[in-house]
A and B are shown apart, each in its own frame.
Chain A
Amino acid sequence: MQQHKLREGLLDVTTTILLLIAVAAIVIPILAMFLTSIQPPVVARAPGIHLAFSPEWVNYRNLLLDEGFMRSLLNSLIVATGHTALAILVSFPSAYALSRSGNFRGKFLIALWIMATRCLPPIGIAIPFYIIFQQLGIYNTHFGLMVLYLTLNVSFGVMMLRSYLRNVPIEIDESAVIDGATLHVILAKIILPVIRPGIVATGIFVFTVSWNEFMFAFLFTSFRMRTAPVEISQFITPMGVQWTEMSAAGMLVIAPIIIFAIAIRRHFVSGLTMGALKN
């Protein structure tokens, strides 16, 4: 019995150490960027790693004063929020219809659709969209990006919302109809509160994808319309890189998402796993 306990204890220690190594591997790159962001530029320019320096917030201050960067953050916020609203608005009715339909057909359709949209490389479909957007006059606009991102998020949104909706028993719909709610608007006011957590979870996931998105934004925005990820790539110039400010910018861009990830972890995880399992 003693030997068994010893063996278990040893395995526990090994497991803990190995997982801690994994944690370190995940955290170290992010930590390195954070440390660089609070270094005074003079320190960062010198070669080698400096761990003993007095932290300064000068980089962040410079960023906040940088009109271009602050505007890009605002652009990201506008696009991400607007797109999330749009995506949910578009996904919800379809998700509802598919959740109430015959069991097999809905699932099969969605799986097929998701698979198809997954196969499209962003650069591939960017050019056709460029042409369409130019004709419509929405190239290089917030709205244009919001619509463009629908290609990324709607199939996912429909899938996620549908799975939440399938957990709402059809009896609720039926009793509402019996009570005289013929308009689906009214029905939406009954079902909507019930799946509000589902909508929030989907919304957060869609927001994150939109906030982080780079390629479409890079190709479809310029100058005043740039989003934050694109602005970060502009820090890399042929003349050299402003390390410290770029690190600070990077931290600012990932900070809100990290806060989401810690505070609302379960929503993220369900979104990520649903992206793969329901296939």
Chain B
Amino acid sequence: MDVRRTWLQTHRLLLPAVAILIFINAIPILILIYMSITDWGRSLTLSFEEPFVGLSNFIYIFSQPRFWQAGYTTLIWVLGSLALQLPLGLGIALLLARATRRRLLVSRLFNYVMVLPLVVAPVVVGVMWRFMVFEPSRGVLNAFLGVLGIPGIAWLGRSTALFSVILVDVWQHTPLFVLMLFAGLQALPATLYDAAKCDGATGFQLVRHITVPLLAPIVYVVTVIRSIDLLRWIVTIFIMTGGGPGGATEIWNMYLYRLTFDRYNISRGAAMGLFLIFVSLLISIAFVKLTISRESKE
């Protein structure tokens, strides 16, 4: 029809908006690349006279033990957070599904409360946990332990800081897993379960052979998204420990901050930033490849 032809032409009118926006994302990266292969010293103005230093900024970073230490911390941070959030999210989603199905009152309550950790400002989350929960003398956690007769712990002290920070991320983002998995559970066809029950499957078998495989796609997606978000996460760590006692909670992103602002070395910061972006892109691409290969098998 004629109308559709006009549409295609007018789309080209609207797509420039998209182009501009892609530009907003691309220019900073180009500048970053330029920064990382030159030496800016301490200047913060672009003068195009910065000396070209090739890959020496990158080599510098990779030769720092602190970089590798931060990498190790980042690994624990990402894996630890995911390892806790995923099962917890799944368990709560299953509970919620049951509560909803059985029309229990608690399901309505939980539905309202569940969103809170996701929408409360991360600054406030950091402040809240650092001063109200983790605080050794006045915090909720130690008070709770006190009731049980257990001596208080210095939660943000060197040995437990990373765990505490992971705990906060679990508090914040488990509801995301719950939301996704719950939506996924609701979408599962009941007929599959009925047929399996007719064949005599037990509750456990139902979960293992029907629920888990069908939820797997959602799990993949949320896991990848969370991994990338975890890599670029900083606010709560910044507020609670600033990199932790003696670098205990210094993940790569935090190291990036220190590299750039503690010594005002723009070039090295840019190199580190590009490295982080590269890692994130790797994860995304790996995920896309995995999804495509899985889908082609079906």
Contact = CB atoms under 8 A, between A and B. Distances in A.
Contact of A124 (B13, B229, B276): B276
Interface size class, chain A: 35 or more
Contact of A16 (B15, B106, B280): B106
Interface string B225-239: 100110110110011
Contacts of A29: 128-129, 132-133, 140, 171
Given A174-B3, A214-B235, A272-B176, A257 B128 contact: no
A262 interface: yes
A206 interface: no
A10 interface: no
B24 A265 contact: no
**Interface bin, chain B:** 35 or more
Nearest to B283: A119
B255 to A, nearest CB: 10
Interface string A1-36: 000000010011001101110110111111011001
A241 interface: yes
Interface in A96-113: 96-98, 100-101, 113
Interface in B91-130: 92, 95-96, 98-99, 102, 104-107, 109-124, 127-129
Chain B contact residues: over half helix, strand or loop, or mixed? helix
A222 interface: no
Nearest to B140: A32
Contacts of A30: 116, 120, 128
Interface in B248-268: 253, 256-257, 260, 266
18 contacts: A15-B99, A20-B106, A22-B95, A23-B110, A26-B116, A30-B128, A32-B132, A100-B11, A118-B228, A119-B232, A119-B284, A121-B232, A121-B234, A124-B256, A173-B3, A215-B234, A230-B123, A269-B115
Interface of B: 1, 3, 6-7, 10-11, 13-15, 17-18, 21-22, 24-25, 27-29, 31-32, 35, 44-46, 92, 95-96, 98-99, 102, 104-107, 109-124, 127-129, 131-133, 137-138, 140, 143, 171, 175-176, 179-180, 183, 218, 221-222, 225, 228-229, 231-232, 234-235, 238-239, 253, 256-257, 260, 266, 269-270, 272-274, 276-277, 280-281, 284, 288
